[in-house]
Amino acid sequence: MIAPPTQAFQWGRKVRPLADLVNDGTYPDRAPDALLAAAGTVGEVVQTGWHEEAEQAVYLVDFGDGLVVGCFENELEPA
């Protein structure tokens, strides 16, 4: 097994989504396509991982009020 490459964002890092993040059906208590976090909203990385099928880093970002959204590296920028 090959180790995944170094990730750009570590736990605790403040980040912002580059585009609006909308519900893809992952959040059953919210309407489909509901806005989860607007582009530019500051969140904090609370977990990092590796998506095997996509072969890229994935981050769980806490945007407050209990809203934690999974994001790929190319969807985020440092805050």
Determine the pLDDT at residue 54.
Answer: 87
Q: What residue has token string 């489909």?
A: 32
Number of domains in the chain: 1
Report whether 59 contacts 15 (CB < 8 A).
Answer: yes
Please, which pLDDT band fits residue 77 given cuts at 50, 70 and 90?
A: very high
Q: Is 54 inside any structural domain? A: yes
Whole domain around residue 72: which residue ranges? 16-28+35-78
**pLDDT-above-70 percentage for the chain:** 94
Instruction: Check pLDDT > 80 for residue 50.
Output: yes
The predicted structure's pLDDT at residue 1: 46
| For residues 21-48, average pLDDT | 95
Q: Residue 3 burial by CB count (10 A; 0-12/13-18/19+): exposed, middle or buried?
A: exposed
1 in a domain, yes or no? no
